[in-house]
Structure 1
Amino acid sequence: MASLGAPLSVAEITRQAENFEYDSKIQLRHWLRSADTMLKEAHVYEAEGNDVQTYLLLYRHAKLVLEHLAKHPERTLAENRKALSAANAAVARNLAKLEVIRPRIAKRHEEYQARRNAQRMALEMLEGLDAKNESLAEKRYSKRRSFERATLDAGQNRLLAAKLAQREVRRRDSARRTVRSQEEDRTGGLWVDWGNEGRRSDSETDDDLSRQLQEVARLQDEHKTQNFSRPTSHPPTYHYPSIPHRSTHERWPGTDAHLPTQGTAPARPPKEQIYRESGTPARPPPVPPKPPTAPTPPPFENPRPPPIPGKILDSESQALPIPPPIPGKYSPSPTPQLPTPPAEPLDEFTFKPSAYLENGTPLRTVFLPNTLRSHFLAAASPNTRLNLETCGILCGILKSNALFVTRLLIPEQTSTSDTCETLNEEEYFDYCDREELMVLGWIHTHPTQTCFMSSRDLHTHVGYQVMLPESVAVVCAPSKQPSWGIFRLTDPPGKQTILNCNQPGIFHPHAVDNIYTEAVKPGHVVELANAPLEVVDMRPKGER
């Protein structure tokens, strides 16, 4: 990760981008997923205006793909060709983007250097500093004027982090609905859920289509029947109901009398006979009384509005008081309007690294919802009762230099009492790509064992940590104490030990003791209350 201090030069960023470990023994599919994760991170940093981190990731991606993956022993395998071709195409697009970002970084670094030199000269003139005290004064001045966003501690700003995660999830959902609405307009009002289409069966698709067509049929003439089974290559012909009108053949309801023909006026009703006394001239009927009106004030009285409360008027000479304002219209069920809180500058800061690898590499904070374990154990409870393991994938987003777990994905899997294997791996990776999610780790149960990382767990987790150094493994042991733990491989020596391990068998010992460590308290994982979390279960209904 690029430095969060003074602006770096292009040469310094390039050196950091080239400083990563590459091992051709790691399967190409893991490296391709790692390259894809780099692009996702770069896109987030680009949207946030972080040119330095965007340049670093795009440059590292290009170097990884062009110099290393192009020579990987598995590059010729059929299952890797498509993904490798897509990675090369992404590099071609990103090279032009690097050319646009490079001048901005260089200009910012030059401006920083110019300001730094001007500050030094000003301090020397105003304070008469000698060479010994110059560095101290310069440090004081740099604290008064910062050229970077404010950096916050993740553990001390959990409430702000929760608000940031909630707002970002809402923003993404709103953007997704906008895209769908635009797609609906282009398709003439028949929206197809492209994001979920891949995981829906043909029967579900047919059911949705059938329900839509039945709704159309309900709005049409109830006496006409149409066949709405499946659409054909020709669009169906809809018979819209005719507009009702009255004709000469229509009858009054409940009678057989025909309506008068057009142009024939109806007969006048007989006049009401007026009875009067003999000899008295006929008088028109009395005019109905007018509706009651407001009482007229008595004459010679000057009506005045009531005085304003709390104000005494002079009886001899005072200007008329201002009448009270007209009250608003009455609302039968008024909805209370809560005061709108002031907008918080949630984008004006970045979270600083909360921990470091053993080799000194900083680790970004991973915010974990505190409801994750309860939701996962509820989904895993049928397997736990049968002494079978269950696993899930932790997916999330990158925001303000921190990683947020926002979705628990439970893929199709096969389990024993000691192992758990995911099936259709490409399905949940494709799902993450469609939903623009990053894979941040995994979670699994030990139904009857203690909370630890077995050799099988270590070999599983190394694939995640190769893709993302901050990846974590959560172990839940509901029948033991402690009942859960959050772990990562040490780097070094754990990560390198597992990558170079060629021992046969699922479970085997390793000569190194310090292979994995806790990732929380202390570590780079922070549990977050009120954090958004969605559970997506991809298992067949009979296996849940």
Structure 2
Amino acid sequence: MGAPLAVEDIAKQAENYEYNVHIPLRYWLRTADTLQKEARQYENEGNDCQTYLLLFRHAQLVLSDLSSHPDRLLPENQKALKAARLAVNNDLRKLEVIKPRIEKRHAEYLARRRAQQQTLENLEGNETQALRLPQELDGLSSNRAPARVTSYEKAALDGEDHRSLAAKLAQREVRRRNAARRSVRQAGVSEEEEQQRRGGGVWGEWDTQLRQESTVDDLQAQIQEVARIQNEQYAATNFSRPSSTQYTSTYNYPSVPQKSAQERWSNPQATGSLPVRPPKEQFRRPSDSLPRPPALPPKPPISQPPSSAVEHSRPPPIPGKYNEYIPSAPPIPGKYLDSNTPTPRPASPSPSLDEFTFKPSAYLESGAPLRTVFLPRELRHQFMSAASPNTRKNLETCGILCGILKNNALFITRLVIPEQTSTSDTCETVNEQELFDYCDKEELMVLGWIHTHPSQTCFMSSRDLHTHVGYQVMMPESIAIVCAPTKDPSWGCFRLTDPPGKQAILNCTQPGIFHPHSVSNIYTEALKPGHVVELADAPLEVLDMRPRK
């Protein structure tokens, strides 16, 4: 378990998928896009094996299968198919980079296994040396520093037993992605260019790099803005002669035995009597004077200037208005939630969150593993609140479950309610491409869907089954949630059996909204002991794309 595989074994696994030509090409194109998103996430986490498998599968699917699909000549599919073919070129370049690392890791593994086998043979029947057997088998030495944990050596945790850890991980990842998107927008990169860079692999650590570049540019812009405001305030005070109607000062002028430099500066040509020195106590300006500047902190005691400075022709510093303004200005708030931000921010989880992975929590009927899907506990309440107007009218409502991939687990983090048309038994999305464009822009994966049965029981109708098979073709872990608020049970979380349910629905050609199927075991519960785990304190955002009435 967890042993590094050979490149040939990974390629063989990548080719092991079911391709059905009767599935519309648009579903397969979404599947190809999902494979790309998963591969990018595993690549960021350093999982070379899974990255190689997904990129190889994407290239195989696009070049061998989709290029000959009957729907390839339809105008609405040609643009997406062309983009998928271009992405394959990037796949092939990455495969060439990853392949030597996998081969080296596998060779090291085989060498370690041979050494372990030789140790077993040498220690056979020797009880004294057998005491050191575990250390010898691990290939470790007491003086050897621990090696960096690689992706396949990380601890594999059960999602059900580590819900709190999963919630912290999801919260941190959502904050990181939101900060990265803000840095991209503030750096002036258009949405189209952003998607092109992501899809083309131009950015490796694109979020970190842009955050660093944007921080410098934004800080400079803020400093320039502060200087501009100060210059305007400085010019507005008309310093031809300081007076009590222009500003309020707490500055105590030093006593001098002769005419001060301040007086000579304000009226260098005066030959008459000198103006009266203003009193040392604080002046009070009239109500119609200029706005009072922000309160300044107490100043340190000012030492008596030397006599040479008194005779100098340069005027004394402007009291409390310009020179002292910058230190007293409030600190410029940071824009990005990273480790260099000086402003207070919520405490982030420990870096140990990256030192583990979630193990598969369930398996398909075929034996294929299913990754854990974490479902926010508040999602149903939020959805039923948004669907309540339709529910009162006996109309169905549907929503799309979107989320992210992290540490080999899937987190539902966003509920999108698309524009739709409804009846008492059906619900159809309108402008589905707008929904997928939004998911692409937000780097979200479609993990399933949710809908209501306003007056029926909680079950998967034949129409629901045909709808869900499109989701499960894109991702085996996809789920369908049914809410029946007037019945008991009031909700359920389901998936198609695989086999026989998915294959039966894909091969079904019966018309009509409601029709029977010959397979009885066509769908099953997805909650524990399935692969879905409800998660409290999970991040969740709701987006209602329906037009306001």
Scaled by the length of structure 1, the TM-score of the pair is 0.70
1:153 is the counterpart of 2:158: yes
- Out of 407, 413, 417, the position equivalent to 2:420 is 413
Q: 1-side partners of 2:35 and 2:155: how far apart?
A: 24
- Out of 433, 436, 447, the position equivalent to 2:454 is 447
- Out of 165, 181, 190, the position equivalent to 2:186 is 181
Q: Which runs of 5+ in 1 are unaligned?
A: 196-239, 254-259, 272-336
Percentage of matched positions with identical amino acids: 66
- Out of 71, 74, 85, the position equivalent to 1:74 is 71
Please state how far the C-alpha of 1:193 moved relative to its aligned partner.
13
* Residue in 2 that maps onto 1:29: 26
Which runs of structure 2 are paired with 1:468-479 in the superposition (5 Å)?
Answer: 468-479=475-486
Letter in 1 for 2:88: V
Please state how far the C-alpha of 1:247 moved relative to its aligned partner.
10
- Out of 248, 264, 268, the position equivalent to 2:270 is 264
Please state how far the C-alpha of 1:127 moved relative to its aligned partner.
3.5
* Residue in 1 that maps onto 2:320: none
Q: 2-side partners of 1:174 and 1:479: how far apart?
A: 41
- C-alpha distance 513-473 of structure 1, shift in aligned 2 (>3 A): same
Q: 1-side partners of 2:239 and 2:118: how far apart?
A: 99
Q: 2-side partners of 1:78 and 1:340: how far apart?
A: 50
- C-alpha distance 156-396 of structure 1, shift in aligned 2 (>3 A): same
After TM superposition, the structure 1 stretch with the greater mean CA deviation from structure 2, 374-383 or 504-513, is: 504-513
Letter in 2 for 1:379: A
Q: Is the 8 A contact 2:403 2:412 kept in 1?
A: yes
1:456 is the counterpart of 2:453: no
Aligned partner of residue 74 in structure 1, secondary structure: helix
Aligned partner of residue 444 in structure 1, secondary structure: strand
Q: Map Cα deviations across residues 139-196 of structure 1 (whole Å, 9 max, x no partner).
A: 995799996111111111111111110111011111112222222xx89xxx99999x
Letter in 2 for 1:455: S
Q: 1-side partners of 2:371 and 2:505: how far apart?
A: 23
Please state how far the C-alpha of 1:243 moved relative to its aligned partner.
4.0
* Residue in 2 that maps onto 1:305: none
Aligned partner of residue 54 in structure 1, secondary structure: helix
Q: 2-side partners of 1:57 and 1:139: how far apart?
A: 36
* Residue in 1 that maps onto 2:374: 367
Q: Is the 8 A contact 2:493 2:527 kept in 1?
A: yes
Please state how far the C-alpha of 1:345 moved relative to its aligned partner.
0.7
- Out of 37, 48, 53, the position equivalent to 1:51 is 48
The ranges of structure 1 where at least 4 consecutive aligned residues each deviate by more than 2 angstroms after the TM superposition are 126-129, 137-147, 191-195, 240-248, 260-271, 337-344
Please state how far the C-alpha of 1:95 moved relative to its aligned partner.
0.3
- Out of 503, 507, 532, the position equivalent to 2:510 is 503
- Out of 525, 532, 536, the position equivalent to 1:529 is 536
Scaled by the length of structure 2, the TM-score of the pair is 0.70
- Out of 455, 471, 474, the position equivalent to 1:467 is 474
Q: Is the 8 A contact 1:397 1:403 kept in 2?
A: yes
Aligned partner of residue 345 in structure 1, secondary structure: helix
Q: Is the 8 A contact 1:120 1:138 kept in 2?
A: no
* Residue in 2 that maps onto 1:485: 492
- C-alpha distance 139-60 of structure 1, shift in aligned 2 (>3 A): farther
- Out of 432, 448, 452, the position equivalent to 2:439 is 432
Q: 1-side partners of 2:113 and 2:271: how far apart?
A: 99
- Out of 512, 515, 537, the position equivalent to 2:519 is 512
Q: Map Cα deviations across residues 436-459 of structure 1 (whole Å, 9 max, x no partner).
A: 000000000011110000011001
- C-alpha distance 85-193 of structure 1, shift in aligned 2 (>3 A): closer
Number of residue pairs matched? 414
Aligned partner of residue 122 in structure 1, secondary structure: helix
Q: Map Cα deviations across residues 46-69 of structure 1 (whole Å, 9 max, x no partner).
A: 000000000000000000000000
- C-alpha distance 102-380 of structure 1, shift in aligned 2 (>3 A): same
Aligned partner of residue 20 in structure 1, secondary structure: coil
Letter in 2 for 1:161: A
Q: Map Cα deviations across residues 310-363 of structure 1 (whole Å, 9 max, x no partner).
A: xxxxxxxxxxxxxxxxxxxxxxxxxxx999798341111111101111111100
- Across the aligned residues of Structure 1 and Structure 2, the Cα RMSD in angstroms comes to 3.5
Please state how far the C-alpha of 1:115 moved relative to its aligned partner.
0.4
Q: Is the 8 A contact 2:169 2:349 kept in 1?
A: no
Q: Is the 8 A contact 1:408 1:535 kept in 2?
A: yes
Please state how far the C-alpha of 1:513 moved relative to its aligned partner.
0.9
* Residue in 2 that maps onto 1:400: 407
Q: Which runs of 5+ in 2 are unaligned?
A: 141-145, 196-231, 246-265, 278-343
Letter in 2 for 1:488: R
Which runs of structure 2 are paired with 1:59-70 in the superposition (5 Å)?
Answer: 59-70=56-67
Q: 1-side partners of 2:41 and 2:275: how far apart?
A: 82
Which runs of structure 2 are paired with 1:135-154 in the superposition (5 Å)?
Answer: 141=137, 148-154=153-159
Letter in 2 for 1:56: L
Higher helix proportion (structure 1 or 2): 2
